[in-house]
Structure 1
């Protein structure tokens, strides 16, 4: 395995008397999809929040390209090339896909109009269209608010937005939750497209079929610690479930 692009070592996080992470480790190689699995309460989302700058760790170390990093905010992680697709997608329902793409990163018109604060709506719409096209995200209209899109299309907008800005890593938290069969297949194709574009993916999922279908490696958390690592092609569903529950032989 290549040296990790992003690595967590001995991450500890408590909320009052509740220990969410008890020395958790994780390694994300470059250009791969790594699935992070575990039962409810294993610490998956907490670890992802720490790696994406949303939460500070109580102890432990985060390394990017082998260099220690200290993310004090999500903006710090984004500046390092790390983007997140949250389970609730974090899209503004009343805005168009392009407006969601560039929320907080709006493009201004060139010249005097830009200095006066006028937005370059045409440029943002075209760049959003190109990003969706690269990943095979089909939208009925770039001018319709995302509230009018299907669940799979909204997921596609969130993924394409993350990939547009991510230079190194995309975290995806339960990206197929509540989606139908066809929409799930499209999202899994999006994840493969992200990996093929050279961006590493950390996939948090309870769906073992999705994990087997799209990941290169699997890391298992249980009770706040990493308890197993697998090459996806060489592990069975029974072994994954056994590692999650502590029942593996």
Structure 2
């Protein structure tokens, strides 16, 4: 049996930034830049909002097209099926790990898709490219199998890696061999339907980066980088069956 699992955010001092989630507003701006603390950490909670051209993010009484967090720019948001306006996205940076956390509204989501683009701002970090990525979910329900996938593509549409989270499992992958600075992320929830017996409660995408010329580390090293980086900001209640 799977029990309900919630993702608990531990701000570790970032809460003092005073960034609050806001309701939708008619005005729209290009990008929201997240303030960073003295340790280079930052976080912002947002709400997906339908706009005339697609989807934006509601923050502090404004609707933005994108979020800039350190040298990462998150943009081009779109959804399919049950993922919808009113759902929440959080963007977190701590210890060199960028995290995108999706929290559906209401009781959770049976299935759907979340699409977005991530770019390394090459005016800030011209020699950096994407390194390790992880995909994690929290699922509630009485049993069955709930599967979610995360596909990462180039902006031209070429598939780089596909990750899979089954019943709240974690999947790791390495983007370093591709030497990319811009990626398209497609999170697909409810890939294998269990008839609504389970619902997605949250999903978490983590990203790291390295300078050009860095050697590809062993898989265990990749796992350690993401695990250590995430501990300062986000802790998860582990899944039980």
Query: TM-score scaled by structure 1?
Result: 0.26
Higher strand share: 2
Higher helix share: 1
Of structures 1 and 2, the larger Rg is shown by 1
